[in-house]
Structure 1
Amino acid sequence: MTHQESLYGKTPDQLAALCGELGMPRFAARQIARWLYVRHTEDPLRMTDIAAAHRQRLAEWFSPALSAPERVTESADGTKKYLFRTLEGHYVESAYIPDGERATLCVSSQAGCRMGCRFCATGRQGLQQSLTAAEILNQAVSLPERDKLTNLVFMGMGEPLDNTDEVLRALEIITAEWGFGWSPTRITLSTAGVVPELRRFLDATKVHLAVSLHNPFHEERMEIMPVERAWPIAEVAAILREYDFTHQRRVSFEYIVMSGLNDSPRHIRELTRLLNGIKCRINLIRFHRIPDSPYFSPGDEAMVRFRDALTARGIQTTIRASRGEDIQAACGLLSTRLKGGI
């Protein structure tokens, strides 16, 4: 243990091990977890049902992990983009999206990303740091609108399955009865398709899955998503056919539509073939232009035609409304490349 270590982000099993090391009763782990995740209190000196001597020892050994956002930018549509600083001095962004009775937080799992998708501002940034479970959770816990949240989506900066250990720990804390107590149906994780970690995620959780697809053809997808070289989307689809998505858990495919690149009739035919046997939906997303990008979004009529053609082939397809584009908070626009000397 070092003084940089935090209690926040640890599971009861990890806390029990620490209690043993510090000469505390192991049952104190559940007491600590309740203070951390139910009362959102990480100062050991305030954990009044723990012996004073043990509180003092915890305070000496562990440092705070939670910190308020450093900046907020608000969109004309009500979306808010929050900037958080990590303990290592990097920055991440998360987007708070209110929509009637629903309030969604789009959280980041990494500062930057090493997947290198050509249409994504985060991918251009490269990877600076994978976040700890505490840094992932901090985006929700330290949010001014924390008590209004109804949903979490792991669709911010980074590839969640490139940081699987910490993401799974965060999901365990969010969904456990000793943690936040959220239903897994309130959470969605998005992945570009990291095959070695995909089964692990599906077996360990019941949260919804969203797969970043964007092109059904191997060679074409590889041009815009380097991940396709290592883990073809056909392999991802084969794995998903092994799982049941007919009850509470859902799988969807995210499809950023780029005019003349992935929106032709042959793409519709190949999507139908690729997704055959998987109960799913496709979410069509307008391409949000990033500087020096060669890609463009089709017009509204073309988006509707593409949606209707997929629907006619039996695939439930929707067009996702763009939110926060004017503050660079929409899909594919999150980036901290120019902040903090990055």
Structure 2
Amino acid sequence: MEINKIPPAGKTALLGMSLDELTAVALALGMPRFAGKQLAEWIYVRRASDFAQMTNISQSNREKLSASYEIGRTPWSDVRCSVDGTKKYLFPVGGGRFVESVFIPDGDRATLCISSQIGCKMDCLFCMTGKQGWKGNLSAAEILNQIFSVEEADRLTNIVYMGMGEPLDNTDEVMCSLRALTEGWGVTWSPKRITVSTIGAKGLERFLAESRCHLAVSLHTPFADERQELMPAEKAFPILQTLERIRAYDFSGQRRVSFEYIVFDGLNDDRRHADELASILKGIPCRINLIRFHRIPGVPLRTSNEKRIEAFRQRMEEHGYTCTIRASRGEDIFAACGMLSTAKQQNGRTEAAEG
């Protein structure tokens, strides 16, 4: 379905609203109560991008809607395609800023990695997004727009909130987007198809209590002092405290918790780190994902070699953990998170200065 041009400023997006909120909009405009359900159907099921497509709503009511509201769909502005089938999309979010979404095909799975913030406050040493600083939270509409507006929207099987930003530093809008994806009035996806990644931020308990989506925790080293060097947010959100909060919830059923572990050469890839990681995760049924590091400018970190990564994986399995080595994808298209958006913004500033 074609997406309109970037909608005019000053209008409120309907994308991301709940059924109750859409009903309130309809009633405020003098429309019948059932129009709320009609709007939800058009926005979340039929994926309408223009009020003109809502043919079971009268023209006069469509005109009322378009006077104050927009659907909230915005097209991507750039896309890079990898030789391995991975695609990185760039979405404009105003002010010359952009966020990234990455489509990752893998057999029968078609995963979209989406962003939740413009930049990030966490300033992790290994992440290009953090080098941008924090420029703002995405709205629920801007989060969902990434899912609805990629070319593969109808093929998607899984969503991961692992793109730009810390999702649980934008808890309100992320939770709104999750409800729209999983509730009966929305897209009606199973929560098992969605994973939210976090360093262990302030919104963790709310996410665990209000959602049944999978959780992924960025860990990267089991030692607090080393983690603080890599991830300054360790000081505010200690990993041991995060693990205690996770232990308070039941992950023995279909809900899954996993731990993301970028393997850095000579930093966190030895037997001592594997043994301590096994120790701090004791009692949490989980999976550990070992990730190769994609280098970014100005950061001396390097990824471990295959032999050390495999030895680390085997040691974790000796401790009884499921441990996988994640395949690298899209290395030829600004693979590291935040690389493409940073380049686009820098180019924009250069062009403006030259103009």
* Shorter-chain TM band: over 0.9
1:336 alignment partner in structure 2: 341
Read off the aligned partner of 2:273 and give its amino acid letter. H
State the Cα deviation string for residues 98-152 of structure 1 (Å, max 9, x = none). 1111111111111211110000111111112211111111111111111111111
1:120-131 matches, within 5 Å, as 120-131=127-138
1:66 alignment partner in structure 2: 73
Give the Å deviation of 1:64. 4.2
Q: Distance in 1 between matches of 2:330 and 2:197?
A: 19
Q: Distance in 2 between matches of 1:117 and 1:3?
A: 34
Q: Distance in 1 between matches of 2:271 and 2:197?
A: 26
Q: Distance in 2 between matches of 1:44 and 1:94?
A: 26
Read off the aligned partner of 2:59 and give its amino acid letter. A
Give the Å deviation of 1:329. 2.6
Q: How many residues align?
A: 339
How large is the RMSD of aligned CA atoms in angstroms? 1.5
Query: Is 1:78 the equivalent of 2:82?
Result: no
Please state whether the residue corresponding to 2:291 is helix, strand or coil: strand
Give the Å deviation of 1:230. 0.4
Q: Distance in 1 between matches of 2:106 and 2:175?
A: 27
1:140 alignment partner in structure 2: 147
1:281 alignment partner in structure 2: 287
Read off the aligned partner of 2:286 and give its amino acid letter. C
Read off the aligned partner of 2:184 and give its amino acid letter. E
1:31-46 matches, within 5 Å, as 31-46=38-53
Q: Distance in 2 between matches of 1:243 and 1:102?
A: 28
Give the Å deviation of 1:207. 0.7
Give the Å deviation of 1:23. 2.1
Give the Å deviation of 1:334. 4.1
Query: Is 1:303 the equivalent of 2:309?
Result: yes
Preserved CA contact (<8 Å) 1:193 1:211: yes
Give the Å deviation of 1:164. 0.8
Please state whether the residue corresponding to 1:293 is helix, strand or coil: coil
Could you list the runs of 4 or more consecutive aligned residues of structure 1 that deviate by over 6 angstroms after TM superposition? Answer: none
Q: Distance in 2 between matches of 1:126 and 1:3?
A: 26
Q: Distance in 1 between matches of 2:342 and 2:29?
A: 41
Query: Is 1:256 the equivalent of 2:267?
Result: no
Read off the aligned partner of 1:258 and give its amino acid letter. F
Give the Å deviation of 1:95. 0.6
Unaligned residue ranges in structure 1 (runs of 5+):
none
2:207 alignment partner in structure 1: 201
Give the Å deviation of 1:9. 1.7
Preserved CA contact (<8 Å) 2:270 2:308: no
For residue 93 of structure 1, the aligned residue among 97, 100, 106 is: 100
Q: Distance in 1 between matches of 2:309 and 2:53?
A: 54
Q: Distance in 2 between matches of 1:334 and 1:285?
A: 17
Preserved CA contact (<8 Å) 1:290 1:333: no
Preserved CA contact (<8 Å) 1:19 1:29: yes
Give the Å deviation of 1:318. 0.6
Please state whether the residue corresponding to 2:310 is helix, strand or coil: helix
Q: Distance in 2 between matches of 1:206 and 1:64?
A: 27
1:183-332 matches, within 5 Å, as 183-194=190-201, 196-330=202-336, 332=337
Preserved CA contact (<8 Å) 2:294 2:335: no
Read off the aligned partner of 1:90 and give its amino acid letter. R
Unaligned residue ranges in structure 2 (runs of 5+):
1-8, 350-355
Read off the aligned partner of 1:6 and give its amino acid letter. A
Q: Distance in 2 between matches of 1:6 and 1:242?
A: 37
Please state whether the residue corresponding to 1:296 is helix, strand or coil: coil
Matched-pair identity in %: 53
Query: Is 1:106 the equivalent of 2:116?
Result: no
Give the Å deviation of 1:57. 0.5
Please state whether the residue corresponding to 1:189 is helix, strand or coil: strand
Read off the aligned partner of 1:326 and give its amino acid letter. D
For residue 55 of structure 2, the aligned residue among 40, 48, 60 is: 48
Query: Is 1:160 the equivalent of 2:167?
Result: yes
Give the Å deviation of 1:10. 1.1
Please state whether the residue corresponding to 1:339 is helix, strand or coil: helix
Preserved CA contact (<8 Å) 2:164 2:338: no
Q: Distance in 1 between matches of 2:304 and 2:10?
A: 53
Give the Å deviation of 1:297. 0.9
Give me the TM-score of the superposition, normalised by structure 2: 0.92
Read off the aligned partner of 2:223 and give its amino acid letter. F
Please state whether the residue corresponding to 1:263 is helix, strand or coil: coil
Q: Distance in 2 between matches of 1:299 and 1:150?
A: 32
